[in-house]
Amino acid sequence: TMPSIFSYQSAEVDWCESNFERSTVIAEYYNTVSAGASEGQAGARRQPAPGTRELLWLSLLLAGIFSMYFHMTLSYVGQLLDELSILWTLAVAYSFWYPRVYFPRFIKSRKHFFWLSGITTVISTLMSFIKPAFNAYVLNCIAFHLLYLTWRELKKCNDKRVHRMAAVMVGWWVLAISSWISDRWLCGLWQAINFPYFHSFWHVLIAMSLLYCCPLVIYFDVNYEMPSFKPKLGYWPSDSWPVVVPYVALEKPHKQC
C-alpha cells in the first residue's frame, strides 16, 4: 500500500543529516532547529506600506513553521508545505515590490500585475505536484532573477551605502547556496567525516541574506513609489556594531522655494 502523505519519511527528499539521531520525534534535529531562523527574520521587517507588512510577515512566519514541520517529519505534505510557502512568499513580495518600470508592456497597472502574479503562482503551485523533488532547484533559480534586478538598480544608484548592503547580501547568499549545494551533492563526503549539517547552515545563511535583501528592495521601491520621500539605509543599533539589523528610514526632503 502507498504510505500516507502525512507519514514520517514519506517525502521525496531526504537531506544529509542522519534521521532520528538526537530525537525519536524529530527526524532532522539540526535542520528543524535552524529552520526557526526564518521565523526570527519575519519580525525584523520594516516597510513603508502598512498593509504589506502584515501579509509578508505572515508569509515568512508560515514559511518558517512549515520548514520546521518538514524537517521534523520528512513527510510528503511537509515537503510541499515548505516549498509552496516559499513560492507564495515570493509571489507576495513580487506583487507588491516588483518595479513598475520592469512590467511587461501588456501590464498597465499594479492591479493587473497582481492578477498576473496570482495566475502564475497558481499554475506553478499545480505544477509543483508533478515532481516535488525538483521544486527546490526551481525556487533557488529565482534568486538569479533577483540578483539581476539588483544589478539593474545598482547601475542607477551612486549611494555607497546601498552598494555595500547589496554586496553583503550577495555574500551571504553565495555562502548559503554553497551550503545548500554541498549538502545536496556532496553528502557522502560530509557523512564520511561525520559533519552532515550544511543544510542547517543554509537556513541560517539565507536568513542573513534576506535580512539585507528586504531593506534593499524597500529602498528601491520607495524611490519609485514614494518620490516625495528620500529613503536612507541604516543599521541598528549602530553602523560600528559587528552584528546589526539593517533598516530603511524615510526622510521627507525640505521644500525648495
Average pLDDT over residues 100-104: 93
**Which residues, 6 or more positions from 42, have their beta carbon under 8 angstroms from its beta carbon?**
57, 60, 61, 64
Average pLDDT over residues 239-243: 79
Residue 48: its pLDDT value, please? 42
What is the average pLDDT value for the chain, to the nearest integer? 89
Lowest mean pLDDT among 1-15, 49-63, 85-99, 138-152: 49-63
The DSSP string of 153-172 is: HHTT---HHHHHHHHHHHHH
Residue 46: its pLDDT value, please? 46
Structure confidence at residue 51 as a pLDDT band (50, 70, 90): low
Instruction: Please report, in range form, the residues annotated as the binding site for Zn(2+).
Output: 71, 199, 203
B/e letters for 70-105, b = 16+ CB within 10 Å, e = fewer, are: bbbbbbbbbbbbbbbbbbbbbbbbbbbbbeeeeeee
CA gap 109, 102 in Å, rounded: 12
**Which residues, 6 or more positions from 74, have their beta carbon under 8 angstroms from its beta carbon?**
8, 9, 10, 11, 13, 14, 19, 27, 28
pLDDT at 49 over 90: no
Q: How many alpha carbons lie under 13 Å from residue 138 in its C-beta half-sphere?
A: 16
Q: How far is CA 80 from CA 28, 160, 177, in A?
A: 17, 40, 20
Residue 41: its pLDDT value, please? 58
CA gap 102, 99 in Å, rounded: 6
pLDDT at 178 over 90: yes
Percentage of residues of the chain with pLDDT beyond 90: 72
What are the domain boundaries of the chain? 29-251
The type of residue at 71 is H
Lowest mean pLDDT among 35-49, 182-196, 217-231: 35-49
Strand partners, 236: 245
Average pLDDT over residues 174-183: 97
Instruction: Please report, in range form, the residues annotated as the binding site for Ca(2+).
Output: 14-15, 17, 19, 28
Structure confidence at residue 68 as a pLDDT band (50, 70, 90): very high
**What cell numbers appear for 145 in the block?**
532573477
Q: Which uninterrupted H or E stretch holds 249? A: strand 245-251
pLDDT at 60 over 90: no
pLDDT at 47 over 50: no
Instruction: Please report, in range form, the residues annotated as the binding site.
Output: 14-15, 17, 19, 28, 71, 199, 203
